[in-house]
Structure 1
Amino acid sequence: MKKRILGWTIASLVLGMVSSCSSDSETKEESIPYKKTVTKVWEYAPAFGQFVNELPPYEEGDTIESMRVKAEKALRNNEVITLGGFGGYVVFGFDHTIPNVPGKRDIRILGNAFANNAEPGVILVAYDRNKNGVPDADEWYEIAGSEHGSPTVIRQYEITYYKPTKDKEEESGEVAEYIRWKDNQGQEGWKTKNTFHQQSYYPKWKKEEALTFSGTLLPNNAVRVEQTNNWQLPPFAWGYADNYPNAREGATIDIDWAVDQEGNKVQLPGIDFIKIYTGLNQEAGWLGETSTEVAGAIDLHME
């Protein structure tokens, strides 16, 4: 009888040890070290701009895909990319769902804004509801920032930029009538090339003769300082990219600010993807066009 009890006890200990090891192994396998920063860029499509073809740098032979990879590498390392003028955009994602924590801001959007030099970009967020791992068109919601209710905001704004001619590209110095543009509000004109950046402002990997972008147009924020040639670009109160220095609370957003296409608030459990596009169509004298720059994003619940 004692032998049988002893045998059972030893067997139980062995099974227990195996079970414990198995449990520890499973726990380790399930403990995935998620990154708090951007891991994937889905699309990179800048408009015209004085930093286009420089941030990230274009090289002869680059394609839409190779430029996407360059943008992805930059954002993974929190390096700056430009979106160019109104509508230019980037779509990026994370290796996990960023939770929507009630009463807290959830994401920090990184850019290169500094005091009185804000170039606000409109932010859209998407929750991967069908779990297919890609940002589907019907999953996007706009972050309703401080200007959302302003009567000067134009929704469903659309603008087309026309590729400059070879002669225009070869001109040196300032080129006043450089890139022609036209919008759906009956406005048209020219974008200027300044003396500080002499490379092409049109994405050189794009073969199209015209590029069209659409979205929410924010009110201009450029102000010329009286009796000087200096310009200030004050930030909006909250809710935009490249609007406040990265360390400020103004660079963070709350997922609860998301609204649908009719402007109704939505309740998202979290988000997997972010789209940012330049929200202004303006020039500020010698500073040139207002172009949103992005340097990644951070999950505040992992910060």
Structure 2
Amino acid sequence: MKRVKRNSGIALLVSIAFSTTISCSSDNTIEEKDPKEYKSNVTKVLEYAPAFGQFVNKLPLYEEGDTVESMRIKAEKALQNNTVITLGGFGGYVVFGFDHTIANVPGKRDFRILGNAFANNAEPGVILVAYDANKNGIPDVDEWFEIAGSEHEKGRVKAKYKIVYYKPAKALDDSQEEIEQYIRWEDNLGNNGWKKKNKFHHQSYYPQWVKTEVLRFEGTLLPTNAINEDETESGWQLKPFAWGYADNYPNRQEGSTIDIDWAVDQNGNKVNLPGIDFIKVYTGLNQEAGWLGETSTEVGGAIDLHIENKN
């Protein structure tokens, strides 16, 4: 830094004013410190584990030889570019994070979950959030809290719902025909049955990179939202819930935004989080809607509203 004469008051004030934004390098040249610029969108995917579904192995695309890790990377690239990935049927999930903590601003909604919902075509997903309190860079089990949306508030959800999907025979996977009894399933409420393979999507609906013979998921089950308006095949509609879920409203509507203050603990008590570092979204419905097939939440990223507004 240039030396300032003792009797130069103006120069001294100028030097002090700039002292918070400049520094001296090892060769005594002046460098300006740029403030950290954070991305408003998702920067990393930690886990991607879809259930069965008609868009599984397509969004993102599975290729021979793909593994859990390579599919995670594909999901990460998709969300970074706001391209939708499918979570499949109930329980299928994705966990992602940001390059900063999304602040919990009192009285304001804090982030937006992107999906592909449109009018009367909502496929709601349950949202969990985590604040990295110990700063270890991962969402620990005790750091997750569930966003309690409108159906939680009405007492219309079932907690600790469990479901199992069984891998179909390869002959069924390779079939190009519609199959009524395709993937067998059962849950902890005594229900069981078959998931259908429709005439529109012929690839396997079971994630091909998963080597196990069963898929197990647990979470909060949302009430059915499928309605057949006129009892014809084309009359199926998927009604949105009032607030608090992913892939529930079109991306530009307020219904796709979330307030961190809606987070609750396992007992349903509100928690006071200063912000969040990670989000988990999973499909919250176990239903079929005629020709529309299974209800599967799709995610296309998430936006920090406070940074988006500044930009």
Q: State if a TM-score over 0.5 links the two structures.
A: yes
Alignment partner of 1:179 is 2:179? no
**What is the CA-CA distance between 1:20 and the residue it aligns to?**
6.8
For the residue of structure 1 that corresponds to 2:161, the secondary structure is: strand
For the residue of structure 2 that corresponds to 1:78, the secondary structure is: coil
For the residue of structure 2 that corresponds to 1:131, the secondary structure is: coil
1:254 pairs with 246, 259, 266, which one? 259
User: Could you say what the CA RMSD is over the residues aligned between the two structures, in angstroms?
Assistant: 2.0
Alignment partner of 1:24 is 2:21? yes
Q: Which residue of 2 aligns with 1:267?
A: 272
Residues 171 and 7 (structure 1), Cα distance of their counterparts in 2 relative to 1, 3 Å cut = closer
Q: Which residue of 1 aligns with 2:232?
A: 228
Distance 1:236 1:225 in 2: 17
**CA offsets per residue over residues 167-215 of structure 1, 9 Å max, x none?**
2112222111100111111111100000100000000000000010000
**What is the CA-CA distance between 1:29 and the residue it aligns to?**
3.6
Distance 1:102 1:189 in 2: 46
**What is the CA-CA distance between 1:151 and the residue it aligns to?**
4.2
**What is the CA-CA distance between 1:128 and the residue it aligns to?**
0.6
Count of aligned pairs between the two proteins: 297
Distance 1:165 1:128 in 2: 42
What is the TM-score with the length of structure 2 in the denominator? 0.91
Distance 1:286 1:160 in 2: 23
Counterparts of residues 1-303 of structure 1 (less than 5 Å): 8-9=6-7, 23-25=20-22, 28-29=32-33, 31-230=35-234, 231-303=236-308
**What is the CA-CA distance between 1:133 and the residue it aligns to?**
1.1
What is the TM-score with the length of structure 1 in the denominator? 0.93
Distance 1:95 1:242 in 2: 23
Distance 1:299 1:155 in 2: 28
Residue ranges of structure 2 left out of the alignment (5+ in a row) = 24-30
**CA offsets per residue over residues 6-58 of structure 1, 9 Å max, x none?**
97558x99998887776423595461110011001000000000000000000
Residue ranges of structure 1 left out of the alignment (5+ in a row) = 1-5
- Amino acid across the alignment from 1:45: A
For the residue of structure 2 that corresponds to 1:67, the secondary structure is: helix
For the residue of structure 2 that corresponds to 1:68, the secondary structure is: helix
